[in-house]
Structure 1
Amino acid sequence: MDIIRSSTSNNICVVDERYVEVDPAPEVDRTTIVSLVASMVVSLVAHEWCRGLETEIEKLRSMQV
């Protein structure tokens, strides 16, 4: 199976004994992109905060011994 670019449009086409033209990707609005990026940032900050908290807990545990 070969993947080529159509000469008439910029769509990706698949050639496998038949010719199938793939629809172009749907438009993604700015709100969706901002929402996805914001959720990734919140997730990353929460993850880093939890790692820092775990480190502090380990320090306190080592001080008690």
Structure 2
Amino acid sequence: MSDVADRAEWRIAMDLTVACAHARRTPQLEADGYCHYCDEQVAHGALFCNTECRDDYQREQEAFRRAGR
């Protein structure tokens, strides 16, 4: 019979497998020289022009996820 430690180890391995699969499916933003929220030009490698745009973008994406989009 397996003991509690074996079951916990199995559960951790399963959680890591699921988390890695989810991370691979999640699309990542790519820096294209423009803010992903307001389309203003940004510095090389930046995704957003400032923290307000970043926060607004994240709030908008969360609302889309809650709405099932």
TM value normalised by structure 1: 0.41
Decide which structure has the larger Cα Rg and report it. 1
Q: Which has the higher strand share?
A: 1
Higher RCO structure, 1 or 2 (CA under 8 Å, sep 6+): 2
TM value normalised by structure 2: 0.39
